[in-house]
Structure 1
Amino acid sequence: MPHLRPLLATLALLAAGSAIAASPPLLEPGQLIADASLPKPRLDAQILAARRYATFWDSGNPALAHQALAESFTDRTLPAGRPQGIEGPLKASAMMKAAIPDLHCRIEQMLVTGDRVVLHLRFSGRFTGPFLGHQGAGQAVDFIATDIYRIADGRITDNWHIEDNLSLLRQLGVVSN
């Protein structure tokens, strides 16, 4: 069977390549406002990192989070109970996708200047799964978030974010109006 090892290795590489090719298309911003004085390669790298991260939230594909976030990624507005680093967004995305399997994210606006990218995001879907002891009944969910990223070497190193959690929790029925 040693003669099959090269063939198996080639098949493994092909399978990995098709998994990469199967990644969802990156989200496009509805409106892009960019500092024209930034060098084009730097601007492109910052936009790419932000688009990858937004597409991660849309798709739940952890490979996109790994591509977008630096190894030293720090959540500067870390919610209680969420682990710091890349594990935090992975855990949060999994929890949201369990509660709202069709959760979609849109980039309404993207602003790029210096080493910062600011995103105005809109999330929507139907609450059909479990969330904090509540079971969804198919109700619509629609809320916004604003993220501020610091980007170095084409990767997000820091994130400051605020979500309209009150609207989300009301729509999920976790808190009353």
Structure 2
Amino acid sequence: MRLTSALPFALMLATTPAYAARVDDRAAIAIARPRVEIVDRSLPAKTVAAMLAPVDAFYGFWNNGSQALLDRAVAPSFVDHALPPGRPQGPKGPMVAARAFLGAVPDLRVAVTQRLVVGDRVVSALHFTGHFTGTFQGRKGAGQPVDFIATDILAVHGGRITDNWHLEDNLTFMQQIGAAG
């Protein structure tokens, strides 16, 4: 088992509608570095590195909405196994979600609090934070803090994420922005 620790990372943020969390790709990846990482010792280091490169790009993508990071992360055959209604399947789906989310929470940050690497899977416990200053489903934010968790199970093959099973605490998010009681 290998454990790593990420250093705190603070940045000044610009505010623009869809990609407000404008940090460069390198900084976006650094923000999402896992606080704890547990790796199956039977996996060769080269295999682990190849698996984690697209995963790091994927979580960096959620910090800045970069098409380049998304392209590095997901395979053309990417499947979202927990696809919400109205979101397109495939590589376009995460971009649609990121545009909506970064439009609502321009300073959105995702931190990987814990990551497990086993076989061809990477399981990540995620912590999303920011402020609702944009618009979401017709509701205008007033700076409400956003703080919720999610969990991803990613399958990685051929250097790209091929599958994602995810669960977000959407109820907490909706309560925090005043859209649910």
Shorter-chain TM-score range: 0.7 to 0.9
**Superposition deviation, residue 24 in structure 1:** 2.7
Is residue 157 of structure 1 aligned with residue 159 of structure 2? Answer: no
Runs (5+) with no aligned partner, structure 2: 1-23
Q: Are 2:25 and 1:23 aligned? A: yes
- Counterpart among 116, 121, 138 of residue 121 in structure 2: 116
1:2-151 matched pairs, under 5 angstroms: 22-25=24-27, 26=29, 27-151=32-156
Q: Equivalent residue of 2:54, what SS?
A: helix
Q: Secondary structure at the match of 1:118?
A: strand
TM-score by length of 1: 0.85
Structure 1 residue matching 2:88: 3-state secondary structure: coil
Which letter does structure 2 place at the counterpart of 1:56? F
- Following TM superposition, the consecutive aligned residue runs of length 4 or more in structure 1 with deviations greater than 2 angstroms are 22-25
Contact 1:32 1:111 in 2 (8 A): yes
Measure the CA separation in 1 of the matches of 2:67 and 2:25.
10
Q: Deviations over 1:75-105 (max 9, x none)?
A: 0111111000011100000000000100011
SS in 2 for 1:54: helix
When the two chains are superposed, the root-mean-square deviation of aligned CA atoms in Å is 0.9
Whichever residue aligns with residue 23 of structure 1, its letter is: D
1-side partners of 2:104 and 2:160: how far apart? 29
Question: Which residue is 1:15 aligned to?
Answer: none
Query: Hey, which of these two has a bigger chunk of helix by percent?
Result: 1
Write the distance in 1 (CA, Å) between the matches of 2:26 and 2:106: 16
Unaligned runs of 5+ in 1: 1-21
Asked whether the 8 Å contact 2:102–2:108 carries over to 1, the reply is: yes
Report the alpha carbon displacement of residue 23 of structure 1 after superposing the two structures with TM. 2.4
TM-score in terms of structure 2 length: 0.83
Larger radius of gyration between Structure 1 and Structure 2: 1
Letter in 1 for 2:144: Q
Aligned partner letter, 1:108: T
For 2:161, what is the secondary structure of its paired residue? strand
CA deviation digits over 1:103-162, x for unaligned, max 9? 011010110000000010100000011101110000100011100001001110000000
The residue that corresponds to 2:176 in the other structure is 171
How many residue pairs match? The answer is 155
SS in 1 for 2:126: strand
Calculate percent identity across the aligned residue pairs.
47
The 2-side partners of 1:49 and 1:156 are apart by 7
